[in-house]
Chain A
Amino acid sequence: MDPKDYKYIGKNVQRKDAKDIVTGKAVFLDDFTLPKMIFGRSLKSPYPHAFIKEIDVEEARNLKGVHAVLTYKDVSQDYKMGWPPQKPILSQKMLYVGDTVALVAAETIEIANEAIDLIKVEYEILPFVLDGLEALKDGAPQLYEEFDHNIVTPGYPPFQKDGAFWHLEIGDLEQGFNECAFIAEDTVSFDKKPAPLAPEPPGAIARYDGDENYTVWATSQSGYILKIINSSVIPNSDLTVKTFNVGGSYGNKQSLTVPVMSAVLLSKVTDRPVRFFQTKVEQMTAYETRLGSQVKAKIGMDKDGIVRAVKADWTVDTGAFCNATQGQVGVGIGEAQLVMAKCKNWDLDTNIVVTNKQPAGIVRGYGGQELNSCLSLLIGRTMKAGNFDPVEVYKKNYVSDGDEYFWRDGRKWKAHSIDYTEAIEISAEKFKWTEKWKGWGTPTWTSEDGNIVRGVGCGIIGNADVGEDNTEAYVRVSPDLFGSKAHVIMQTNITESGMGQRSNLAKMVAEVMNVPYEQVQITDPDTMQNPTGFGLCGSRGTITYGRAVSNAAVDARRQLFELAEPYLEVPPEAMQLENYGVVTKSRPGKFVSWKQLIPPDLTITGYGKHTENFSTPNFFMVFLEVEVNKQTGQVKVVHMLGGTDAGQVIDPATLEMQCHGGIGSASLDTALFEEHIIDPATGRPLTYNMLEYKWRTFNEFPTFDTVMLSSQFDTFMFKALGVGEIAGAAAASATMQAISNAIGVEVAEYPATPNVIFKALGKM
């Protein structure tokens, strides 16, 4: 199709659920209820590492209205969560503050809470470890017997079908460093495990359906990911997963293992649907955070500003429990290569370690952001040593058509069709980079009294996961029972969690079928009733679902053309769809309606699929200017620009908002103030609620510009790729660069709170 002919693609179109959202009609899980549904709650460990010596639940069980109380004594210890399967749903050993001691199901939430208070527990408190590098040491407290030195056994079958991939070793490192004129070596930490903090807390309703079959309604942005990750917990189990609108996820609400498995267990023993929601405080203290990262690295750059050698040890702190972390580490290794794509010599080794902190897992940025926030500071040092302009260096080093890299499946991929040089140049120009950039360690502006300084910085990141995971879709043409129109039904498994993609895909189908967007309908998200789809995590939706639904529409169109041959007496190549019928240009006036072609009450069903492909990495670049008050140590971002080339832009307004989204979900502000502060004496998070945990309020936003190019990349029919996930992923390192330039001293400690600034300035 010629982009000039698009009716909906590239234009702002009102989301199908828009009116429901502004009227309060949109349904989220908490608004939904089932007949005879009861309420689940859990007693949570007050200690980061402890053994249950004794537990007495008699009084709780006897409370009127209580249907079940479960402890480790009541549940198979082989029902293990995570990958590799490691953590019993209910265990005798507590591994973090907020770990599940006991589960209760009761007629009301109040009775469940009362029952929780009646459980008596005697703990043996064990020594705990809160730091990833400490956890690796001899003699450190061990969380799991099978994880020697707390190192998680490598291997993640869903992502790595050829075997485990955790260590990138290619080229000749010594030779590589010999070619370098500038080398930086240090350990950088990005380990404060900030909270992605979706507004809607994690929750699930489970219903037992016999044998080991369960229906789960969840606040998951991907029902299918929830299904595959949690299917390994109870042997021979099958979960059918349904979702509603999801109140923010940012990658964080996918598998929901703890709430889902809690609800599942309780539903089986009570044979009642059980609703299990975490409170906001539980979400903040016991639900998944961003991964912790400590990176000891050496990076070498040649005299032309090309990175030639990278040696790095990446310690990944996954908290008390490892779910999809191995996939994230694989992607992190991949993303590092995209930023330093001309480098042929790598030794990037990783260790995933468990510590006595709340679990860490998937958040927008997916491992890549955590590693990028560390490595970029060292790339910056080599740039500084060579006195290079960072924009020029990133432009030279960033992945482009023909560059090769190893992705998270351990296989080698070659970049295809993409080139982001123009996007980098236009973004820099719009930000007025050359005007503002005064050199390393030099402020762009200083107040008259010298107390307030401004500096600029930039960061770059990309992800090839945009083509991940096999996906399929049906497109059904259903002529109206009365009248001459038809509805086109897109049968595919997509949960709406804010990106607007359910509607964007309807736009694609409307283009192919040449029907009004309003006539395209989408099935509700459900893993059983829809064909396979991994949801919208990781910006995969544009390519994977885009290809699947547009191919399915093309298939439906092909069938209509075949049926139309006897009527139009021309070959299918000469036909087109128009006004719910088929026409041909060669015989004007000839028209046959879909209703005439399709037997009464039946439908035409087209099938389309996408197969996994990591050859078109996306791109996002952040430019920003910060202002530092040297007297108070306070830093604020005054202006920010997000630049990308999304291939064909599908919906400018929603893409722009995805760019804005890079400020939230523990992205930009992990460089400024977002962190979980844990009391080292007790192991308890002090930032346990939304008053203690710092987040950016409406009146504190910087001005924001976007650059969104619309190149025609060779991805699928509509030449687009997704970019939303990485919008903020390079913002943290860009902020550190800007702060360092503003105050003239390098700052490399996340987040750069006033304390950190004072330390850097030698005032503390």
Chain B
Amino acid sequence: MDTKDVTINANDFEYSFSVGTKFGQLSASETLAETLRNRLGLTGSKEACNEGACGCCTVIINGNAVTSCMTLTVDCDEKNITTIEGLANPETGELDPLQQAFLDRYAFQCGYCTPGIIMASKALLDKNPTPTDTEIKEALSGNFCRCISQYHVIEAVSDIAKGVQK
């Protein structure tokens, strides 16, 4: 690790951290989930399993859905990160159509896993705007939802894929 600083771009805002072991410095072992939640107050994505199995901490890094609990912040230097807080229009507050589809389809119950599911869906739709239901299910197979909102989630993502406007 040569760099002394790490700069990440989270939701169109640039944050630079000094890397080291002193109080307040970003340690080399700090995960992106910890940085987002504990330093930046972006608590939308959740740290649930801390082993990359449940997808609750999913964010988008340079276009890819990534489990932030399995990503070191020092590996995110110069990368663009979008979290659930960065989806709505920052000026007007207008929701991303995908968020609106989740509202229209009642696509959550406890809502704890929802930010991760929305971000995984968003990354899929950005790459493939018209996924089939099978592709949607595959893309979300790393996201755990125990309330069983899967049926409604698939409807919501599928609405966007099919251009359905409610």
A497 at the interface (CB under 8 A from B): yes
* Inter-subunit contact A21/B114 (CB<8 Å): yes
Chain A window 271-306, contacts with chain B (Cβ cutoff 8 Å), 1 for yes, 0 for no = 000000001110000000000000000000000000
8 Å CB contacts to A: which residues of B100-132? 102-103, 106, 108-115, 118
* A22-B99 in contact given A12-B106, A279-B50, A665-B146 (Cβ < 8 Å): yes
- With A498-B110, A690-B54, A699-B137 as given contacts, are A24 and B45 in contact (CB-CB < 8 Å)? yes
Q: Please tell me if the beta carbons of B109 and A661 are within 8 angstroms of each other in the complex.
A: yes
Interface presence of B78 (CB below 8 A): no
* Per-residue interface assignment for chain A, residues 253 to 268, with 1 indicating a CB less than 8 Å from any chain B CB and 0 otherwise: 0000000000000000
Query: Is residue A147 contacting chain B, with contact meaning CB distance below 8 A?
Result: no
- With A23-B99, A199-B146, A280-B50 as known contacts, state yes or no: A657 contacts B118, CB within 8 Å: no
Per the bound structure, the CA–CA distance linking A249 and B144 in Å amounts to 14
Known: A30-B47, A691-B53, A699-B138. A22 touches B103 (CB 8 A): yes
B88 at the interface (CB under 8 A from A): yes
Whether the pair B141, A697 counts as a contact (CB closer than 8 A) is: yes
A19 within 8 A of B: yes
Inter-subunit contact B146/A197 (CB<8 Å): yes
Interface positions, chain B 46-60, Cβ under 8 Å from A, are: 46-51, 53-54, 56
Residue in B closest to A728 when the chains form the complex, CB atoms: B148
Whether B74 is near chain A, meaning CB under 8 Å from some CB there, is: no
Q: Which residue of B lies closest to A252 (CB)?
A: B146
**A498:B147 contact, CB within 8 angstroms:** yes
> For the complex, would chain A's binding face be called helix, strand, loop or mixed by DSSP majority?
loop
Closest Cβ–Cβ distance, residue B35 to chain A (whole Å): 14
Contact status A699-B141, CB under 8 Å? yes
Instruction: List the B side residues contacting A664 at CB < 8 Å.
Output: 145-148
- Closest B residue to A15 using CB positions: B106
**Assembled-state Cα–Cα distance A665/B109 (Å):** 13
Majority secondary structure of chain B interface residues (helix, strand, loop or mixed): loop
Residues in chain B near residue A639, CB distance under 8 A: none
> B108, A689: Cβ atoms under 8 Å?
no
- Which residue of B45, B46, B113, B138 has the most chain A CB atoms within 10 A of its CB atom? B46
Contact B143 A698 (CB under 8 A): yes
Select A22's contact among B37, B43, B51, B118, beta carbons within 8 Å.
B118
Tell me which residues across on chain A come within 8 A of B103, comparing CB atoms: 14, 18-19, 22
B148 lies within 8 A of A17 (CB): no
Q: Is B158 an interface residue (CB 8 A)?
A: no
Which residues does chain A contribute within 8 Å of B47, judged by CB atoms?
30
B150 touches A660 (CB 8 A): yes
Q: Does chain B have a CB within 8 A of A474?
A: no
Is B148's CB under 8 angstroms from A657's CB?
Answer: yes
- Cβ of B68: which chain A residues have Cβ within 8 Å of it? none
A653 at interface (Cβ–Cβ under 8 A)? yes
Q: Which residues of B contact A498 (CB under 8 A)?
A: 109-111, 147
- Residue of A22, A246, A691, A697 near B102 (CB, 8 A) is A22
A497, B146: Cβ atoms closer than 8 Å: no
Indicate whether B28 reaches chain A with its CB closer than 8 angstroms: no
Smallest Cβ-Cβ distance to B105: which chain A residue:
A653
Instruction: Say whether A248 contacts B115, CB under 8 Å.
Output: no
Which residues 596-620 of A have a CB within 8 angstroms of B?
none
Residues of A within 8 A of B83 (CB): 24
Contacts of A695 in B (CB 8 A): 144, 146
Are the CB atoms of B46 and A21 closer together than 8 Å?
A: no
Given A280-B51, A661-B147: A23 touches B111 (CB 8 Å cut-off) = no
Q: How far is the CA of A485 from the CA of B146 in the complex (A)?
A: 41
CA distance A551 to B111 in the complex (A): 30
- Complex CA distance for A759 and B66, rounded to whole angstroms: 42
Tally of chain B residues near chain A (CB < 8 A)? 51
A280-B51, A654-B106 known; A22 vs B144 contact (CB < 8 Å) = no
Q: Chain B residues with Cβ under 8 A from A527's Cβ?
A: none
Query: B100's closest neighbor in chain A, by CB?
Result: A22
Contacts A14-B103, A654-B106 given; indicate if A28 touches B144 (C-beta within 8 A).
no
| B26 contacts across to A, CB distance below 8 A | none
Most buried by A among B49, B56, B87: B49
Task: Assess whether B140 is interfacial by the CB under 8 Å rule.
Answer: yes
Complex interface: chain A residues within 8 A of B142 (CB): 697
Of the candidates B102, B106, B137, which one forms a contact with A657 in the assembled complex, judged by CB atoms under 8 Å apart?
Answer: B106
- The CA of A500 and the CA of B88, in the complex, are separated in Å by 23
- Decide if A183 is an interface residue (CB 8 Å cutoff): no
Is the C-beta of B18 less than 8 angstroms from some C-beta in chain A? no
A701 in the interface (beta carbon within 8 A): yes
With a cutoff of 8 Å between Cβ atoms, the chain B residues found around residue A200 in the complex are 46, 48, 110, 112
Q: Is A63 interfacial (CB 8 A cutoff)?
A: no
Q: How far is the CB of B164 from the nearest CB of chain A, in Å?
A: 17
Q: Is the CB of A30 within 8 A of B151?
A: no
Set A15, A26, A690, A698: member contacting B137, Cβ < 8 A:
A698
For the complex, give the distance between the alpha carbons of A654 and B109 in Å: 8
Chain A residues whose CB sits within 8 angstroms of the CB of B85 once the complex forms? 23-25
The CA of A292 and the CA of B15, in the complex, are separated in Å by 51
Q: Is B42's CB within 8 Å of the partner chain A?
A: yes
* Chain A residues whose C-beta falls within 8 Å of the C-beta of B147 in the assembled complex: 248, 250, 498, 657, 661, 664
**Known contacts A23-B84, A199-B54, A279-B50; A248 and B148 CB within 8 A of each other:** no
Q: Which B residues touch A660, using CB under 8 A?
A: 148-152
CB contacts (< 8 Å) of B50 on chain A: these are 279-280
Asked if B146 and A198 make an inter-chain contact with CB atoms under 8 angstroms apart, the answer reads yes
B134 touches A (CB below 8 Å): yes
Question: Which of A28, A250, A698, A704 is in CB contact (< 8 Å) with B46?
Answer: A28
A665 vs B147: C-alpha distance when bound (angstroms): 7
A691 CA / B48 CA spacing, docked (Å): 13
Asked whether, in the complex, the Cβ of B51 is within 8 Å of the Cβ of A199, the reply is: no
Nearest-neighbour CB distance to chain B for A522, whole angstroms, equals: 16
Are A280 and B150 within 8 A (Cβ)? no
Kindly state whether residue A201 has any CB partner on chain B within 8 Å: yes
> Does A689 contact B49, Cβ atoms closer than 8 Å?
yes
- Known contacts A14-B103, A24-B85, A653-B106; A199/B112 CB under 8 A: yes
A499 / chain B contacts, CB cutoff of 8 Å: 109
Cα–Cα distance between A281 and B13 once the two chains are bound (Å): 34
What per-residue 1/0 map shows which CB atoms of B87-105 lie under 8 Å from chain A?
A: 1100000010001001100
Contact B48 A201 (CB under 8 A): yes
Listed residue (B138, B140, B144, B146) with the most chain A CB atoms within 10 angstroms of its CB: B146
Tell whether A657 pairs with B51 under 8 Å between CB atoms, given A24-B84, A498-B109.
no
Which residue in B87, B95, B102, B146 is a CB contact (below 8 Å) of A248?
B146
Complex CA–CA separation, A196 to B154 (angstroms)? 23
Residue in A26, A199, A496, A704 whose beta carbon sits within 8 Å of that of B56 in the complex: A199
Q: Kindly list the 7 A-B residue pairs having the minimum CB-CB distance in the complex, ordered from nearest.
A: A24-B44, A247-B112, A498-B110, A21-B111, A24-B84, A498-B109, A690-B53
Other contacts beyond A21-B108, A657-B151: 12, CB < 8 A: A15-B106, A24-B84, A24-B85, A25-B44, A198-B110, A248-B146, A498-B110, A657-B109, A660-B152, A665-B146, A698-B138, A704-B151
Q: Write 5 A-B pairs (CB below 8 A) sorted by A numbering.
A: A19-B95, A22-B111, A30-B43, A199-B113, A199-B145
